[in-house]
Amino acid sequence: MNERIKKASRHTNQSEGLIFEKSSPGKRAFELPPLDVPDVDAAKALGTYHRKDGVDGFPEVSEIEVIRHFTRLSTWNYAIDLGMYPLGSCTMKYNPRVNEFVARLEGIATEHPYQPQALSQGCLKILRLLEKCLLEITGMDAITLQPAAGAQGELTGLLLIRAHLEKQGNPRKKVLIPDSAHGTNPATAVIAGYEVENIKSESRGQVDVEKLREQVTEDVAALMITNPSTLGIFEQRIPEIAEILHTKGALLYMDGANMNALTGITRPGDLGVDVMHLNLHKTFSTPHGGGGPGAGPVAMKKILEPYRPVPILVEKDGGRLALETVRPNSIGRVKAFVGNFGVLLRALAYILAYGPGVRQATEDAVLNANYIRKRLEGVYDLPFSLPSMHEVVFSDAVQKKNGVNTMDIAKRLIDYGFHPYTTAFPLIVPGALMIEPTESESREECDLFIDAMRSIAEEAAKTPDVVKTAPHTTRIGRLNETVAARKPVLRWKPATSKSEAAD
């Protein structure tokens, strides 16, 4: 380990088993107030439906044991609160704590989606203001806040496109998807009832416009584009791409995962995009929470507005807001209720904190990515040389000569105190290192990251084995994923867990 590198610290070691292994009959961690109505005989009331004994195997522990158990587990996690996640296209930015505070307010967290709308004006105003802000940011005409995440937003967007084309007489058969796209894109297209046709990127990593011209036929419903692309590069010909599609009656869908490069700088609506989703858990700071929840609002041009999922938020006389469900052309609901309201309000809190100054966040994100690119160029192979925006993609081509690949480098980065960058994606770059620092990283953190990456490159050249067998400082080594897939053990059962927790 290079002693010059200050950041690295040993991972916390603690032994902690499964909560079921700590249970002891009769212990409990939560008490209810006494029953204040006459009790009933559950067996009599429920007959054969009655579950006589409690849930078999359920934990029985005290409050302090619950606190210690989960606190100890938490110390095994890396988190944004601890340091940078240079994960490309994930936009792991700071999750502001005031957002957590306002989400929990009495009168916000407590509201039932079916309570009278006259008693929900506060919630509806939050939604309406968020709609307006996101329309301003995207340059679109209408929006739905219902989709629960980006993938569901993609599905909603494609269903809107399908409904629009169906109204014109032919939903068409295919969706074009670049070979650099995120996996949710083709998975979603299939669920929307379309065939996927791949479109290859050209030599600079951009959508091949000449190929596009050939591939856009009257069978093509849409192109799903990510902009900037998953290489972090702006699709410079996007207005032309939109034109080609529109001429043939097809539409342009934009995957908005990389909005962190565009907010306040340019607007997808101005570029010719017809419909797009946003990932509020990326660009708009709502917390990842270990994998969710998120929200994937879909913004669209006027032509798609009639097909929006219900309910629709409308403004009535006197500024009163209402949710309307009667919309004959709507594609229906994609999710129960109005959406992930708790996530939506956090995104609004983020936007309110920045105001028009949100452009500064975008500038800082792009500056950080370019700074890292400049200082790692020449150390790592840069397969595509067009300017990077908020993320940069290197490859492991240089290190591979010594048998060190991107996964190894990523694991070694853990020893230096960082979470790995995105490995092995996008698919068009073999051995990719996809790095997105976000605006939340200080210069100091960026420098520590750069120093770590440079040190690892040196190690890959001189002492490759230390990289190939990393990480060395975590409480647990590389786990056997083959066994986990061949013989899946997906739940605890009494007396079957034979291995012991790590020390």
**Footprint of another protein on 226-255 (CB under 8 A):** 233-234, 236, 239
Q: Please, which residue, 364 or 381, has the CB nearer to another protein? A: 364
Interface with another protein (CB under 8 A), residue from 1, 2, 248, 265: 265
How many Å apart are CA 453 and CA 212, to the nearest integer? 38
SS (H, E, C) 84-134: CCCECCCCCCCCCHHHHHHHCCCCCCCCCCCCCHHHCHHHHHHHHHHHHHH
The three-state secondary structure class of 71 is helix
Nearest distance from C-beta of residue 487 to another protein, angstroms: 9
Nearest distance from C-beta of residue 459 to another protein, angstroms: 18
Task: Please tell me whether residue 224 binds another protein under the rule CB under 8 A.
Answer: no
**Footprint of another protein on 326-385 (CB under 8 A):** 331-343, 345, 349, 351-361, 363-364, 366-368, 370-371, 374-375
Task: Please tell me whether residue 96 binds another protein under the rule CB under 8 A.
Answer: yes
Nearest distance from C-beta of residue 356 to another protein, angstroms: 4
**Footprint of another protein on 381-440 (CB under 8 A):** 386-387, 389, 410-411, 414, 419-420, 424-425, 439-440
The three-state secondary structure class of 79 is coil
Question: 28: which residues sit within 8 A by CB, 6+ positions away?
Answer: 60, 61, 62
Closest C-alpha to 231, from 413, 431, 438, 89: 89
Q: Please, which residue, 142 or 161, has the CB nearer to another protein? A: 161
Strand 321-324 to 392-395 pairing: unpaired
Closest C-alpha to 407, from 451, 458, 454, 469: 469
Interface with another protein (CB under 8 A), residue from 8, 88, 90, 250: 90
Interface with another protein (CB under 8 A), residue from 167, 443, 458, 465: 443
How many Å apart are CA 363 and CA 366, to the nearest integer? 5
Strand 422-423 to 312-315 pairing: unpaired
Q: Please, which residue, 89 or 455, has the CB nearer to another protein? A: 89
How many Å apart are CA 367 and CA 324, to the nearest integer? 44
Cβ atoms of 301 and 274 closer than 8 Å: yes
Closest C-alpha to 178, from 141, 130, 215: 215
Nearest distance from C-beta of residue 55 to another protein, angstroms: 5
Nearest distance from C-beta of residue 211 to another protein, angstroms: 20
Interface with another protein (CB under 8 A), residue from 8, 86, 89, 120: 120
Q: Give me 100's structure tokens.
A: 């957590």
Q: Give me 163's structure tokens.
A: 């409904």
How many Å apart are CA 318 and CA 156, to the nearest integer? 32
Nearest distance from C-beta of residue 18 to another protein, angstroms: 6
Task: Please tell me whether residue 67 binds another protein under the rule CB under 8 A.
Answer: yes
Task: Please tell me whether residue 7 binds another protein under the rule CB under 8 A.
Answer: no
Task: Please tell me whether residue 277 binds another protein under the rule CB under 8 A.
Answer: no
The three-state secondary structure class of 359 is helix
Nearest distance from C-beta of residue 455 to another protein, angstroms: 19
Stretch that binds another protein, among 144-152, 214-222, 300-308, 312-320 (CB under 8 A): 144-152
